[in-house]
Structure 1
Amino acid sequence: MDAKQKEFSQLVKNNQGLILKVSRLYTNSLEDEQDLFQEIVLQLWRSYDSFKGQSKITTWMYRVALNTAITLFRKKTKSPQTDELMDFHQRAFMEDDGEKQQQISLLYKVIKMLPNVERAIVMMYLDDIPYREIAENLGITEVNARVKMNRLKKTLKELMLQHG
C-alpha cells in the first residue's frame, strides 16, 4: 500500500461514523446499508485527488456521501418495506436502555420520512456541523440553511408526536 492509500485508509477509518450515519439514513436494510457504505468509500476514493483543501475534509466527505446516497436513492424504484424499517431500528438499537433509546429510534424513524435534502440538513445539524458548512454542502445560503432547520425542528416535533 502506498502513502496515498494509507492516508486515504486512515481518513476513512477516522470518519467511518460519518459514512455510516449517511448509509443508515438513506437505506432500509443492512445489506443496502453495507452496499451504500462501500459505494460512498469508492466515490470518496475516486474524488480524493480532486480534494483541494478549500474546505474541511469532513465537509468534502459529507458532500460526496450525500450526493452518492441521494443519487442511489433516486435510482431505487421500490418503496421501503415496513419490515425493513423495523429491522433497521432493532439492529441500530439492540441494547434498549429505556426511554432514551426509544426516543432515538423514533427520531431516526421520522428523519427517514423527510425528503432527501431535509434529511441531510437534520443529519448534519445533529452532528454539530456549522450552518455555513451545511449551506456549502447543499449549495444553499447559510440563512436558508438556518430557516430550513428551524422549520424542520417543528416538523420533526410534530412527526414524533404523531408516530410516538
Structure 2
Amino acid sequence: MEKTFLELISENQSILFKICNVYFREKVDKEDYHQELIIQLWKAFPDFKNTAKFSTWMYRVCINAAIDILRKDKKEIKKLVFQKSTYIIYLIMGLSPLEIRKDCLN
C-alpha cells in the first residue's frame, strides 16, 4: 500500500505544488503545508476507491485540507491579535510587563 501511495504521489506531484502556490503565499508555508497535505493524503488513502482517477481524488483531498489549514491559521491569527491588543491596553493603563503577566495568570 505504501509503495503504491508513494508512486501515485510522485506521478501527481504537480497537483500538490499548484495547490500550495495558490493557497499559501510564503515559501516556508508552502514547504510546511506541502508536507501537511501529503500527511492528509496518507490518512485518507485507505478511503480511496478506484472508481475515480487518483489525481481527481488527490485534488479534492488537498483542497479540503488546504481550506482546513487556512481556517485553523485564521483562528490562530485572531487569537494573537486579541492577545496583542489586550497587552497594549494594559500598557496604556500604565501596567508594567510584570504586572500584566501576573494579571494574565490570575
5+ residue gaps, structure 1: 79-164
Aligned residues: 76
Structure 2 equivalent of residue 155 of structure 1: none
5+ residue gaps, structure 2: 78-106
Structure 2 equivalent of residue 30 of structure 1: 27
- Pairwise CA RMSD: 1.5
Taking structure 1 as the reference length, the TM-score comes to 0.44
1:53 aligned residue (29, 50, 53): 50
After superposition, residues 63-74 of structure 1 pair within 5 angstroms as: 63-74=60-71
Q: Pick 1 or 2: higher relative contact order, CA cutoff 8 A, min separation 6.
A: 2
Tell me how far apart the structure 2 counterparts of residues 20 and 28 of structure 1 sit (CA, whole Å).
12
Taking structure 2 as the reference length, the TM-score comes to 0.67
Tell me how far apart the structure 2 counterparts of residues 15 and 52 of structure 1 sit (CA, whole Å).
17
- Tell me the amino acid that sits aligned with residue 55 of structure 1: A
Tell me how far apart the structure 2 counterparts of residues 18 and 11 of structure 1 sit (CA, whole Å).
11
Structure 1 equivalent of residue 14 of structure 2: 17
Q: Which one has a bigger Cα radius of gyration?
A: 2
